[in-house]
Amino acid sequence: MKEIKYKPIGIVHSPFKKTDNAPRQPAYGRGIEATVEIFPEYEEGLINIEKYSHIVLICHFHKSDTKPLKVRPPMEDKLRGVFASRSPNRPNPIGLSIVRLDRVEGRILYIRDVDIIDDTPVLDIKPYIPL
Query: Which residues of this chain interact with its own copies, rule CB under 8 A?
Result: 1, 3-9, 11, 38-39, 42, 44-49, 51-52, 54-56, 58, 60, 69-70, 79-86, 90-92, 94, 96, 98, 121, 123-128, 130-131
Shortest approach of its own copies to residue 114 CB, angstroms? Answer: 14
Shortest approach of its own copies to residue 21 CB, angstroms? Answer: 23
Residue closer to its own copies (CB basis): 28 or 96 = 96
CB 128 within 8 A of CB 14: no
Report how far residue 85's alpha carbon sits from residue 106's, in angstroms, rounded to the nearest whole number: 35
Report how far residue 11's alpha carbon sits from residue 56's, in angstroms, rounded to the nearest whole number: 14
CB 124 within 8 A of CB 49: no
